[in-house]
Structure 1
């Protein structure tokens, strides 16, 4: 029975002994997650947008509420000033018309003006005062109101003492009567210049009052000043502050709710992932498994699935390394056993011909061990070499042509010939990959085909581009591959030598390495038999398929 085998090329970019036909499930999973992210609507992080929106919502409520209430408060104060100014101008106009005597030097009749002020003013809504041209107080609506002012008595003890020995922060002292009078006189003095005055100041009870002072002007002479004060500003402001409380409470509730939600969505799942990772490390488990988090359609779910995929991949890698180590031990044990037997026999054999045969056995076993160790070393470094080099566009036609030219230049008389027969117009076919590992695939396939070709036979390397794929074929004129071994030939350390082949000439890693490199480049490698008339096997053919660049 003849079967194709593989020949490992002692290239430093070789396999690590993992399964050569390992599917690239990680890449497919990443593509699916990227596709999900593309259809989530707005760009950016979904969880990040949620965090930003929830944190800004409470602040926006508070800011909008404060801005609206500030505008309303200022509007109410301005409206109060306008109302007092209108009333003051009306009272000043009436006093000017009815309480002014004397020509050509006019004067204000204080008694008549007082009566008119008592009639026109409303002591319940505002306080009205009348000043003469010298700034002296003539009338006050509080004097004329038939009411008794009530004030709460101050506490008997010191306000800085709470009665239990603790000193409280002293409250700000209200303005003194002198300060209140000074502010009022300053406003009246400015109004006596003929310009109405308005503003907010402290009253004699410590409250903020809205005050307007309107000059009583006859032609150009200022006869006095009417001052109107409204002390309900603090009440208005207090109402507005109380109106702000619901906004503050809503903002606080939204902030607390968003914090709890973020803790539930982010902090707790991340903590669970960390604890799961600790369990994997401490208990020497093989994988993280959190199905409830993996079902989430956000970044935490992506992270959970990635960690699960990563730990499962590491678990598979550990299993593959264990299997590879067992295979290596088994393959090395055979030549070592043969070496030990030959060495032990050599001391008791005296026949020169027998000793010569034993020495040949020793040499062959040493060569076989050297080849095994070299191929195993190269295989163990393949993943590291593949991850270190960044994929680049590779001209596959030029690469194969250079390799075939090297075989043709070093061929001897009677050696198997290697020819390159690409399909017309595909010599410039490019693929994305690493030139060293790709060249190793071609060399391994050519060496394998040469080892099974008869003397004077031909190994044909073909290249064709079809439906966005670059297809490389390596055909030989050998006995072909038994149908049951079309997949077995890609297993590690598998070798079926044809009759007459040197024992130990093949390590059984070449085709395994080639398939693993193909899988790392998102390609495939398969074996089949070439058949002729009546189903006669004409040889074996290996087909490498790689994604082609446009």
Structure 2
């Protein structure tokens, strides 16, 4: 049986202590989601900032390089345009002397990593700093092959492509020089004949206002500088990778593994190795995993309590049914031995009484077993308790028989008292209480129903009281009367007319509606017991526009 299975659960909340209200969490109501979002955004932000810094750095570097080359080129063209150094001549026609220009560049321009080229008015190169220095353009030659090694075959397509690249680089340079010959300085980032990226400026050489040629300065250290910048970006990328790895590890530790543990605990419950999930280290977490663990624990505890209640109910039903069955069997066994008609009639009446008792018991057990399904099937709605009680009392008064107790209703709480619940089960609560009070009332007595408010209890301010004039309830049985199959009837009531489930059903329905029911004895004028009182406390309906 289920009761033989081990139960693993955390300590429940103390009686009367409400579950703490969950605090408002950040990041859209999710702490765990906020952690995931923050880690991912942090890694992306690191990469984004690094990329911005690299782009800005590269752009600033190129612009600064162009400004430096422009300043150098403007200084050089002012010197080249001065007749006193002999590079340019103004008589009879302004012109450049290519021999003097080459000699002057050799003697005055030997900067490492830069190349100066001078073009005449027709765009024809007349001087190149690489021609007058030891610098050799292009990439270093590969190491020499050992003796006897056949030369590597050259792909004609590669040679054609390289030649096309050289021609394209020369065409771009020619276009730049052509624009500079128009009198406007030019600056660009282009490919050289060797395929390297270079920062280039082209400044017109003037004699007075006459353009005599163009001086082009190139700096070919752009790729090396950008490579250094890329290497500088690597720490950002490594940090972003580390943050992503850390985020993945945290997700595994704080999400994946706890979910796997919860799944394993649920499997333990499913396989009946435990009756409840209990993972205290997860239940104390303040994120969604903790909420899930607490919800699963509460759910399994509720199911476990429900199973215990079903087992206890089944045991009580078995015990209560056996009593009339035993009585019927004894009567049937005795019936053949009866000699006189009076004894036979008495035994037959006893059988009929046991059959009625058994029928009433089975009917009440069936109603009690369907109660949970009815409570879960019907949706709660706003109910006017004044109208509901008036209708119930009207039905009793219209079918009143001689000698039965009258039922009176006094709506002292006001015209309309609204509660949220299910009208069918709530109606059954008050009918059971009225039936119980009438059964204890003297002939032609009265059962009084009052509807009041108790502002001292803001959670359950609505009070419905059912008073009778019966003998009252023994003090030790004020709680026992709500147990299943408890029957302590007054003298004169037919045996077996009550199953003892009415007040148990009342408590079950009232607690399902968030209420409370209790029993007490009403004192008389001289302190004696004047009768019994059952009080039902219910929460009032929330104001319109608010959800319960």
Report the equivalent of 1:36: 22
Cα pair 1:396 1:427 within 8 Å, conserved: no
Which of 268, 279, 295 is 1:306 aligned to? 295
Report the equivalent of 1:544: 536
Report the equivalent of 1:241: 230
**Are residues 1:458 and 2:446 paired?**
yes
Report the equivalent of 2:370: 381
Offset at 1:487?
0.7
Report the equivalent of 1:18: none
1:215-294 to 2 correspondence within 5 Å? 215-218=204-207, 221-294=210-283
TM-score (norm 1): 0.87
Report the equivalent of 1:12: none
Partner of 1:535: helix, strand, or coil? coil
CA spacing shift, 1:235–1:136, aligned 2, 3 Å: same
Report the equivalent of 1:5: none
Higher deviation after alignment, 194-203 or 250-259: 194-203
Taking the aligned partners of 2:161 and 2:251, their CA distance within structure 1 comes to 47
Cα pair 1:342 1:358 within 8 Å, conserved: yes
Cα pair 2:90 2:207 within 8 Å, conserved: no
Higher deviation after alignment, 45-54 or 199-208: 199-208
Cα pair 1:198 1:212 within 8 Å, conserved: yes
- CA deviation map 1:51-83 (0-9, x unaligned): 111112111101111111111111101111122
CA spacing shift, 1:26–1:265, aligned 2, 3 Å: farther
Report the equivalent of 1:19: none
Report the equivalent of 1:481: 473
Report the equivalent of 1:513: 505
1:137-152 to 2 correspondence within 5 Å? 137-146=125-134, 152=140
Q: Which residues of structure 2 form unaligned runs of 5+?
A: 1-11, 146-157, 544-548
Offset at 1:43?
4.2
Report the equivalent of 1:198: 187
**Are residues 1:409 and 2:403 paired?**
no
RMSD: 2.6
Cα pair 1:123 1:145 within 8 Å, conserved: no
Cα pair 1:530 1:541 within 8 Å, conserved: yes
CA spacing shift, 1:460–1:185, aligned 2, 3 Å: same
Report the equivalent of 1:53: 38
Offset at 1:495?
0.2
Report the equivalent of 1:525: 517
Taking the aligned partners of 1:446 and 1:326, their CA distance within structure 2 comes to 28
**Are residues 1:338 and 2:324 paired?**
no
Report the equivalent of 1:494: 486
**Are residues 1:535 and 2:524 paired?**
no
- CA deviation map 1:4-34 (0-9, x unaligned): xxxxxxxxxxxxxxxxxxxx979988852xx
Taking the aligned partners of 1:97 and 1:522, their CA distance within structure 2 comes to 104
Offset at 1:484?
0.9
Partner of 2:111: helix, strand, or coil? coil
TM-score (norm 2): 0.87
Partner of 2:212: helix, strand, or coil? strand
Higher deviation after alignment, 83-92 or 447-456: 83-92
Higher deviation after alignment, 303-312 or 87-96: 87-96
Report the equivalent of 1:355: 344
Which of 305, 310, 313 is 1:324 aligned to? 313
Taking the aligned partners of 1:225 and 1:189, their CA distance within structure 2 comes to 9
Report the equivalent of 1:13: none
Partner of 2:465: helix, strand, or coil? strand
Partner of 2:29: helix, strand, or coil? coil
Cα pair 2:66 2:201 within 8 Å, conserved: yes
Cα pair 2:27 2:34 within 8 Å, conserved: no
Taking the aligned partners of 1:45 and 1:147, their CA distance within structure 2 comes to 66
Taking the aligned partners of 1:369 and 1:283, their CA distance within structure 2 comes to 35
Taking the aligned partners of 2:418 and 2:40, their CA distance within structure 1 comes to 51
Q: Which residues of structure 1 form unaligned runs of 5+?
A: 1-23, 158-169
Partner of 2:130: helix, strand, or coil? helix
Offset at 1:195?
3.0
Higher deviation after alignment, 286-295 or 241-250: 286-295
Taking the aligned partners of 2:377 and 2:40, their CA distance within structure 1 comes to 43
**Are residues 1:77 and 2:62 paired?**
yes
Cα pair 2:110 2:133 within 8 Å, conserved: no
